[in-house]
Amino acid sequence: MFPPVALLGLGLGLPPHVLSQEEAALLTARIFGDRLAGFPQFERVFANTGIARRHCARPADWYAVPHGWSDRMAAYRQAASALFVQAATAALADADVDPAGIDCVVVSSSSGFAVPSLEGQLAEAMGFRSDGERVPLFGLGCAGGVAGLATAARLAAAPGRTVLFVTMELCSLAFRQDDGSRANLVATALFGDGAAACVLRGGADERAFAVIDGAGQHLFPQSQEIMGWRIDDGGFGIVLSAALPHFLQTHLRPALARLLGQCGTEEERIGRFICHPGGTRVLAALEEVLQLETGSLDHERAVLADHGNMSAPTVLFVLDRARRAGLPDRAALLALGPGFAANLITMRRGPR
pLDDT tens per residue, range 163-216: 999 999 999 998 877 777 777 788 888 899 999 999 999 988 889 999 999 999
Predicted confidence at residue 14, as pLDDT, reads 98
Does the pLDDT value for residue 275 go beyond 90? yes
The average pLDDT across 237-261 equals 85
Measured in degrees and rounded to the nearest 5, phi and psi for residue 153 equal: -65, -40
Model confidence pLDDT, tens digit, residues 217-230: 999 888 888 777 77
Predicted confidence at residue 19, as pLDDT, reads 94
The more confidently predicted of residues 176 and 351 is: 351
pTM: 0.95
Predicted confidence at residue 285, as pLDDT, reads 92
CA distances from 134 to 140, 166, 251 (A): 17, 11, 35
Choosing from 104, 142, 171, 198, the catalytic residue is 142
Asked if 129 and 158 touch (Cβ cutoff 8 Å), the reply is no
Active site residue 142: yes
The more confidently predicted of residues 300 and 179 is: 300
Predicted confidence at residue 38, as pLDDT, reads 66
Could you count the other beta carbons within 10 Å of the beta carbon of residue 124?
Answer: 9
Question: Integer distance in angstroms from the first to the last C-alpha of the chain?
Answer: 23
Bridge partners, residue 331, by sequence? 272, 347
Nearest to 73 by CA among 41, 111, 38: 111
Query: H or E segment at 90?
Result: helix 69-95
CA distances from 175 to 28, 124, 158, 189, 194 (A): 10, 32, 42, 11, 16
pLDDT class of 248 with cuts at 50, 70, 90: confident
Cα(348)–Cα(352) distance, integer angstroms: 12
Nearest to 11 by CA among 128, 173, 152, 168: 168
Predicted confidence at residue 306, as pLDDT, reads 97
Predicted confidence at residue 147, as pLDDT, reads 97
Share of the chain above pLDDT 90, in %: 69
Asked if 263 and 215 touch (Cβ cutoff 8 Å), the reply is yes
Predicted confidence at residue 182, as pLDDT, reads 78
Model confidence pLDDT, tens digit, residues 3-61: 899 999 999 999 999 999 999 988 888 888 777 776 777 778 888 889 999 999 999 99
